[in-house]
């Protein structure tokens, strides 16, 4: 098992895909900074608060929280005349789910790469538990997720300084807590995509589902389920409270649906359940 861990870590560090996705992450973050700079300049010219102009990622009506579909970048009004805190900016970027989208596509490709050749058949016959092939990939996926966070954060700092101007590098305890929870939720959704890839053995299907999930298209299904459950007698029930994307977009915000502790439990539950199911499928599957 230890040798499998080392092999996967070596593969992910030497894979060209890892560095291609890192380069795309840099470009995406730079684009976010450019768009934010345009927003800030427009707000300054109009002398208006962004809250009157932007399309929020969430709406609160009659106590119900609704997460919108699509990708949004919320610009804070106090960024007009003040230095931008890099970690605040990083959190806003993560809430847009654009980085999550890149991670899910990579995950689908990473977990299905060996099925195109004879690697799995050659190795699986030597293993007592074929599910170890899946478990061996989790540390690599964890490191890739962390790597993407670091790349995005460094790019945020450099791009904001060069394009917008003043930056603030102070890290508050609240921001640190939010970033750790964000990381857990991102890794959890990557585990969900890994499970879907193992289940379908198809990169296109699992990556497409990842795109749909990140874009919030499942909100239509969530709304239908909420209505059905409310008709059964439950009041103010929202399945979005237990969705990964919903919590990524709202954790630490004024519209936060769950406490930090509950959000952590939700992320951990998704990691545990998807890992166990993927392990079981790999053990039973005839490769």
Span 50-68, pLDDT tens digits: 443 334 444 444 445 555 5
The answer, yes or no, to whether residue 227 has pLDDT greater than 50, is yes
Mean pLDDT, residues 57-81: 58
Mean pLDDT, residues 252-271: 80
Distance CA 253, CA 263 (A): 13
Distance CA 8, CA 139 (A): 8
Q: Are 252 and 94 in contact (CB under 8 A)?
A: no
Containing 58, the helix (H) or strand (E) segment is: strand 58-61
Greatest mean pLDDT range, 56-70, 147-161, 256-270 = 147-161
Please report which confidence band the pLDDT of residue 249 belongs to, taking 50, 70 and 90 as the band edges. Answer: confident
121 Rama sector, left if φ>0, alpha if ψ -120 to 50, beta otherwise: alpha
Q: Which domain holds residue 175?
A: 2-284
The answer, yes or no, to whether residue 18 has pLDDT greater than 80, is yes
pLDDT averaged over every residue in the chain: 80
What's the pLDDT score for residue 28?
A: 92
The more confidently predicted of residues 246 and 285 is 246
What pTM was estimated for this model as a whole? 0.83
The more confidently predicted of residues 32 and 253 is 32
What's the pLDDT score for residue 215?
A: 82
**42 Cβ partners below 8 Å, 6+ apart?**
none
Instruction: Read off the pLDDT of residues 83-133 as tens digits, 9 standing for 90 and up.
Output: 888 888 898 888 888 899 999 999 998 888 766 555 555 555 566 677 778
Count of domains for the chain = 1
Reduced to 3 DSSP states, what percent helix, strand and coil does the chain have, rounded to the nearest 5? 70, 5, 25
Token digits of residue 215:
């874009």
Q: Are 4 and 133 in contact (CB under 8 A)?
A: yes
**200 Cβ partners below 8 Å, 6+ apart?**
206
Q: Are 80 and 163 in contact (CB under 8 A)?
A: no
**High-pLDDT (> 90) share of the chain, %:** 28
The answer, yes or no, to whether residue 268 has pLDDT greater than 50, is yes
The answer, yes or no, to whether residue 8 has pLDDT greater than 60, is yes
């Amino acid at each position: 098992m230890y040798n499998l861990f080392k092999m996967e870590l070596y593969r992910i560090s030497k894979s060209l895909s890892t560095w291609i996705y890192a380069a795309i992450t840099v470009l995406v973050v730079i684009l976010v900074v450019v768009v934010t700079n345009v927003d800030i300049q427009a707000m300054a010219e109009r002398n208006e608060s962004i809250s009157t102009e932007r399309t929020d990622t969430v709406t609160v009506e009659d106590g119900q929280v609704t997460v919108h579909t699509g990708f949004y970048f919320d610009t804070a009004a106090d960024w007009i005349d003040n230095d931008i805190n890099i970690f605040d900016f990083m959190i806003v970027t993560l809430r847009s789910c654009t980085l999550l989208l890149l991670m899910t596509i990579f995950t689908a490709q990473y977990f299905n790469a060996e099925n195109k050749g004879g690697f799995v058949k050659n190795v699986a016959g030597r293993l007592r538990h074929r599910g170890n092939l899946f478990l061996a990939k989790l540390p690599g996926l964890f490191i890739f997720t962390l790597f993407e966070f670091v790349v995005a954060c460094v790019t945020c700092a450099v791009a904001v300084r060069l394009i917008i101007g003043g930056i603030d590098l102070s890290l508050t305890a609240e921001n640190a807590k939010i970033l750790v929870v964000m990381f857990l939720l991102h890794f959890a959704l990557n585990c969900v995509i890994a499970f879907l890839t193992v289940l379908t053995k198809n990169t296109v299907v699992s990556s497409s589902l990842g795109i749909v999930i990140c874009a919030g298209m499942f909100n239509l299904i969530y709304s239908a389920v909420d209505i059905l459950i409310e008709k059964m007698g439950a009041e103010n029930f929202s399945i979005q409270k237990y969705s990964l994307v919903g919590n990524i977009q709202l954790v630490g915000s004024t519209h936060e649906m769950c406490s930090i502790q509950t959000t952590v439990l939700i992320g951990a539950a998704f990691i545990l359940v998807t890992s166990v199911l993927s392990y079981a499928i790999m053990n039973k599957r005839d490769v």
